[in-house]
């Protein structure tokens, strides 16, 4: 199909169901999902499917498709066969690409998790009741660089906690807004080093008193414990912990809304599960209208 595509300079729609539009524009494969359009390309020698969003997001799907071959098959009403043995029709391909686009790096077998038994063949995610998390603004646009906070936290090089500040884009409210912020932070913190699926994360709302709680007698890991006692001991004190959080939340704690998330949705947390511990918090600062995402996982 590459030879055919080379001479095709006009838009050619291979599949359109009102939600997804899959086709060629100026000879190049693309997928449109609502207002989002992704360009599709490949590295045939591995092979990888590359998904590039208009907002700057970029995904590599390993052991996937040459999109030209897939589109040619769909144009003939034929299936495209995955290396896993899954036979794709055009709708399946669109759903897989939309799902994979949430990640920086993912294998085809992980991307095929979208084909859950709870989603019937031919249904869109919305019709099935499964809501796919989509990126409406790139992490480069939503992730905040706060020079004042960076100057403080950089003074604690042995800290094993990962911090990420995320703008509130008002695309969601409450719990869903926290999940959206978590997803943006994972794109930045985890990048292509770890597999993650924030749709599987669950959370409980907690108060500031729980978030900043003292170290308990049982020695269970919490935010303060993680800062003061990483796997390799430091001389950090409660005063240091307070200094970091005064920089992170300069308006104090009265307007903070915090959630504590489960840690079973990414292999980022695996090392912490072995011994030291792991945690994940999202904290919305109403005064600053931004989220602080706080993660930790480590081993000796």
Burial of 40 (0-12, 13-18, 19+ CB in 10 A): buried
| Chain centroid, CA 203 distance in Å | 16
Residue 46's pLDDT is: 67
pLDDT digits (tens, 9 = 90+) for 52-69: 988 777 888 888 889 999
Percent of the chain at pLDDT exceeding 90 = 53
Phi and psi torsions of 243, nearest 5°: -65, -40
- Contacts of residue 71, defined as CB under 8 A and 6 or more positions apart, other chains included, come to 1, 14, 22, 23, 24, 29
Where does 139-298 sit in CATH, by number? 3.40.1000.50
Phi-psi region of 271 (alpha: psi -120 to 50; beta: other; left: phi over 0): alpha
Percent of the chain at pLDDT exceeding 70 = 85
Indicate whether 5 pLDDT > 50. Answer: no
Indicate whether 3 pLDDT > 80. Answer: no
Indicate whether 104 pLDDT > 80. Answer: no
- Contacts of residue 230, defined as CB under 8 A and 6 or more positions apart, other chains included, come to 158, 159, 160, 276, 298
CA separation for the pair 155, 244 (Å, rounded): 10
Domain ranges of the chain: 2-128, 139-298
pLDDT digits (tens, 9 = 90+) for 122-149: 333 333 333 333 333 344 468 888 888 9
Residue 116's pLDDT is: 58
Q: What is the pTM of this model?
A: 0.56
Calculate the alpha carbon distances from 110 to 93, 118, 121 in Å. 14, 17, 18
CA separation for the pair 68, 55 (Å, rounded): 23
Residue appearing with tokens 């292999």: 267
Indicate whether 151 pLDDT > 50. Answer: yes
- Mean pLDDT, the chain, rounded, equals 83
């Amino acid at each position: 199909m590459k030879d055919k595509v080379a001479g095709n300079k006009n838009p050619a729609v291979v599949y359109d169901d009102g939600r997804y539009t899959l086709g060629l524009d100026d000879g190049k494969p693309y997928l449109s999902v609502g207002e989002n359009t992704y360009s599709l390309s490949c590295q045939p020698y591995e092979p990888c499917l590359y998904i590039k969003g208009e907002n700057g997001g970029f995904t590599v799907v390993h052991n996937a498709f040459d999109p030209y071959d897939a589109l040619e098959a769909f144009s003939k009403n034929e299936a495209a066969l995955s290396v896993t043995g899954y036979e794709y029709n055009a709708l399946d391909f669109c759903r897989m690409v939309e799902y994979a686009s949430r990640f920086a790096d993912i294998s085809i077998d992980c991307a095929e998790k979208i084909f859950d038994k709870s989603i019937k063949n031919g249904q869109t995610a919305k019709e099935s009741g499964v809501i796919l998390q989509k990126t409406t603004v790139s992490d480069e646009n939503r992730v905040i660089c706060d020079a004042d906070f960076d100057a403080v936290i950089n003074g604690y090089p042995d800290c094993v906690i990962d911090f990420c500040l995320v703008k509130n884009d008002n695309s969601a409210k409450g719990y869903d807004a926290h999940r959206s912020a978590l997803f943006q932070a994972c794109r930045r913190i985890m990048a292509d080093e770890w597999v993650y699926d924030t749709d599987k994360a669950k959370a409980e709302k907690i108060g500031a008193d729980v978030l900043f709680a003292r170290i308990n007698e049982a020695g269970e890991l919490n935010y303060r414990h993680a800062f003061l006692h990483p796997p390799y001991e430091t001389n950090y004190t409660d005063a240091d912990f307070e200094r970091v959080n005064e920089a992170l939340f300069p308006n104090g704690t009265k307007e903070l809304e915090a959630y504590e998330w489960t840690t079973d949705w990414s292999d980022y947390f695996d090392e912490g599960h072995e011994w030291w511990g792991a945690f994940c918090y999202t904290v919305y600062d109403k005064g600053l209208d931004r989220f602080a995402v706080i993660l930790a996982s480590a081993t000796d």
